[in-house]
Amino acid sequence: MDGALNFDKLMIDNKVIGFLVLISLLASCVKDVELEPGSYEPKIVIDGYIESGRGANIYITRSSPFLAEYDSASIRGSFVNNAKVTLSSSSGEKEVLTLFRNDSFFPPFIYRSVSISGEIGREYLIEVELAGKKLRAVTTIPEAPEISDYQFKLESDTTGFPEILITQRRDKAQYFFAMVRSSLENENLHPTLEGVIRVQAGSDAVWYTIQRVRERRMSYEGEHQPYYKSDFPKRQYHIDDEVLVIPGAVDSISYRVILSLFKDLSARDNPFNFNNTGIESNIEGGLGRWTGIARARPIVVSGK
């Protein structure tokens, strides 16, 4: 699955925006304001996931203070490429992850498993050792969602929404997490607008509408020229688009963490909406998320 959620950037950007808004308000009341940065100890931030049938992918960075001045040197200083990352499973597998580099993305360093692939129903533990500190996190890969049907729901002669029919589980709720990619847009796989949704237990099936959302691109490629311009109907896809959907499911802990991330994104996009609950994390000793994802069969939805 391409791309990560970029936990560190989401958190820092929102703080910076909130801070600037606060300063602008204070400036109207106080003539001279001097701000001096206090002592700050960077925290280790992990953005990692393991999918059923695929290996683990982990990005590690260091957090930055509110008043940090960003340049190429400080950005490079946030990258972590000297950690020891160990992955183990509830079935007894164990592997020290291998560091790979991809200069097209931020951060460019990624720790990957070579021999261990995710399996449904298993638990996965990561242990990160860096600069004398030890971090750990546990996740599980639940059952994959069952998709019984899909369609392209027309809103006009040329636009509409992809929809997929999710079968409910009789005994428990499931936490649906999907990745999407437009064939007309120059984009990578990325999460849906909501990030995750909770599908209640039941004996029926529920339609889930996929609303178009721009990829929050973290690559070093040239300036992105979107296919969908600002005057295109909001959240809708063109009828000729072929939307790749990879349905997935996460456990309840990952659901809460990812949901908090997307609530923070929503607050960041709306200057009048502040996220007072903060971003949750399941990393012991640091920040971020470690997520197990159960993949279902990929689907291509189009109105053609």
Please report, rounded to a whole number, the percentage of residues in the chain having pLDDT higher than 70. 76
* Angle (nearest 5°) at CA 7 between 283 and 66: 105
What mean pLDDT comes out for the span 123-130?
98
User: pLDDT confidence of 271, banded at 50, 70, 90?
Assistant: low
Q: Is the pLDDT of residue 119 over 50?
A: yes
What mean pLDDT comes out for the span 169-174?
96
User: What pLDDT was estimated at residue 75?
Assistant: 60
Q: Is the pLDDT of residue 37 over 70?
A: no
CA–CA distance, 159 with 233 (Å, rounded to integer): 8
Instruction: Identify the three-state secondary structure at position 155.
Output: coil
User: What pLDDT was estimated at residue 225?
Assistant: 80
Amino acid at residue number 186: N
For strands 242-246 and 174-182, give the pairing.
Answer: antiparallel
User: What pLDDT was estimated at residue 272?
Assistant: 54
CA distances from 236 to 37, 143, 166, 182, 197 (A): 44, 30, 21, 11, 19
Mean of per-residue pLDDT scores for the chain: 84
What mean pLDDT comes out for the span 207-228?
77
User: What pLDDT was estimated at residue 21?
Assistant: 35
Q: Does residue 64 or residue 219 have the better pLDDT?
A: 64
Closest to 56 (Cα-Cα) out of 98, 16, 14: 98
What mean pLDDT comes out for the span 249-271?
86
The radius of gyration of the chain from alpha carbons, rounded to an integer in Å, stands at: 21
Q: Is the separation of the CB atoms in 191 and 209 below 8 Å?
A: no
User: What pLDDT was estimated at residue 24?
Assistant: 39
Q: Is the separation of the CB atoms in 158 and 239 below 8 Å?
A: yes
What mean pLDDT comes out for the span 124-147?
97
Q: Is the pLDDT of residue 62 over 70?
A: yes
- Least confident range of 39-43, 47-51, 69-73: 69-73
User: What pLDDT was estimated at residue 278?
Assistant: 79
User: pLDDT confidence of 161, banded at 50, 70, 90?
Assistant: very high
pLDDT tens digits along 98-110:
999 987 777 789 9
Is 162 exposed, middle or buried (CB count within 10 Å of its CB: 0-12, 13-18, 19+)? buried
Q: Is the separation of the CB atoms in 55 and 100 below 8 Å?
A: no
Q: Is the pLDDT of residue 33 over 60?
A: no
What mean pLDDT comes out for the span 86-92?
98
Closest to 213 (Cα-Cα) out of 241, 185, 254: 185
The token pair that represents 128 in the structure block: 């990160």
User: What pLDDT was estimated at residue 103?
Assistant: 79
Q: Is the pLDDT of residue 67 over 90?
A: no
Neighbour tally for 42: CB within 10 Å: 13
User: What pLDDT was estimated at residue 160?
Assistant: 98
Q: Is the pLDDT of residue 4 over 70?
A: no
What mean pLDDT comes out for the span 165-177?
97
User: What pLDDT was estimated at residue 10?
Assistant: 45
